[in-house]
Amino acid sequence: MPPRKIIIDTDPGQDDALAILLALASPDDLDLLGIVAVAGNATLPQTQRNIRVICEVANRRDVKCFAGSDKPMSRPLLTAEHVHGATGLDGIDLPEPTMPLQPQHGVDFIIDMLRSHEADTVTLCPLGPLTNIATAMARAPDIIPCIQEIVLMGGAYFEVGNITPAAEFNIYVDPEAADIVFRSGVKLTVVPLDVTHKVLTTKTRIDAFRAFRTHLGDVVVAWLDFFERFDVQKYGSDGGPLHDPCVIAWLLEPHLFSGRFINVEIETQSPLTLGMTVADWWGVTDRTRNAMFLKDIHADGFYALLTDRLSRL
């Protein structure tokens, strides 16, 4: 089969960086049409810089990189420098990127790519707030039937929230955008905290990247050492959860995951539960099922995939 065509929409973030590297390391499986930055973990000037830094770490200056939305659709921007550092990609000093940022707005790129390809041939992979995706849908509703699938990192059910007691960060930053996407009718796969909190960056797993003895391996180790400190302190765990690479791993080896096709809706009103992914896991309502909501992952298999693929870069 030909490689699956994907667009990554992201707000790097050290875990976003590893997701991008995993996609770049899998050219036989994934045809990366472009990477679009969105404001989220950091502001847009930082995230559009970071996607290019990541590509240059992988020696992939040919990848088309775009700047998208600089704020949520209808709310002030909330960022997460307390997790990811001042640049959004702290942990190691890297040169400023020299590869160009494409002049086209990222939302327009998404629209154009979906219109220029046959229907059901392009998968969108949002790793941050869903602002760009929802804006594209609102601006050009004709693209909605063209999307093959959206595989996103966001939300939670059993783990509940990581930015508020009820909400996961990516959904909470722009709940109105998430609501648009979850109501769109597009085939949707959700990788929530319930999965990502099961793939911890233990010392043994980080040492596997250290064993590369390459510049890329050293960068990955530095990113993970910085990134995990927040969650280790917060959760008292043996490592930090590695969220966003799970999206790419699902595309590559879906047998590593399990979940249910259920109804998921987004809370946009309540001050107590704003941004909550209200997941009808037990089927207690008659609301229409709209998402494959993942719950479990084979953690060792995930890290075996990630380590093997990144070793090829």
What letter represents residue 251's amino acid?
L
Q: What is the pLDDT of residue 184?
A: 98
pLDDT computed for residue 259 by the predictor: 98
Q: Which residue has the tokens 């992952």?
A: 297
pLDDT surpassing 70 at residue 305: yes
Each residue of 235-264: pLDDT tens digit?
777 788 999 999 999 999 999 999 999 999
Residues with Cβ within 8 Å of residue 134, at least 6 apart in sequence: 73, 174, 176, 177, 178, 180, 181
- Exposure class string for 200-238: b at 16+ Cβ within 10 A, else e: bbbeebbebbeebeeebbebbbbbbbbbbeebeeeeeee
What does the pLDDT read at residue 147?
Answer: 98
Task: Specify the pTM.
Answer: 0.97
Average pLDDT over residues 11-38: 98
- Mean pLDDT for 8-22 is 98
Q: Which of 82, 84, 197, 243 is catalytic?
A: 243
Instruction: Provide the 10 A C-beta neighbour count for residue 101.
Output: 16
Q: Give percent of the chain with pLDDT exceeding 70.
A: 98
Whether the per-residue pLDDT at 71 is higher than 70: the answer is: yes
Q: Give the number of other Cβ atoms within 10 Å of residue 12's Cβ.
A: 33
- State percent of the chain over pLDDT 90: 95
Whether the per-residue pLDDT at 158 is higher than 70: the answer is yes
The model's pLDDT over 125-153, given as tens digits with 9 standing for 90+, comes to 999 999 999 999 999 999 999 999 999 99
Q: Work out the average pLDDT over 54-80.
A: 98
- Mean pLDDT of the region 104-111: 98
As to burial, measured by CB atoms within 10 angstroms (0-12 exposed, 13-18 middle, 19+ buried), residue 243 is buried
Higher pLDDT, 234 or 25: 25
Q: Residue holding tokens 């093959």? A: 148
- For 186-218, how does the pLDDT look when each residue is reduced to its tens digit (9 = 90+)? 999 999 999 999 999 999 999 999 999 999 999
The model's pLDDT over 28-61, given as tens digits with 9 standing for 90+, comes to 999 999 999 999 999 999 999 999 999 999 999 9
CATH of the domain at 246: 3.90.245.10
pLDDT digits (tens, 9 = 90+) for 91-103: 999 999 999 999 9
145's tokens: 């039937």
Range of the domain at 191: 4-310
Provide the domain count of the chain: 1
Assess whether pLDDT exceeds 70 at residue 230. Answer: no
Catalytic annotation on 255? Answer: no
Q: What's the pLDDT tens digit per position in 255-297?
A: 999 999 999 999 999 999 999 999 999 999 999 999 999 999 9
Q: What is the pLDDT of residue 69?
A: 98
Give the per-residue pLDDT at 1.
85
Sort strands 122-126 and 257-262 into parallel, antiparallel or unpaired.
unpaired
If pLDDT is split at 50, 70 and 90, which confidence band does 231 have? low
pLDDT digits (tens, 9 = 90+) for 167-180: 999 999 999 999 99
Element (H, E) at 191: strand 188-191
Q: What is the pLDDT of residue 238?
A: 79
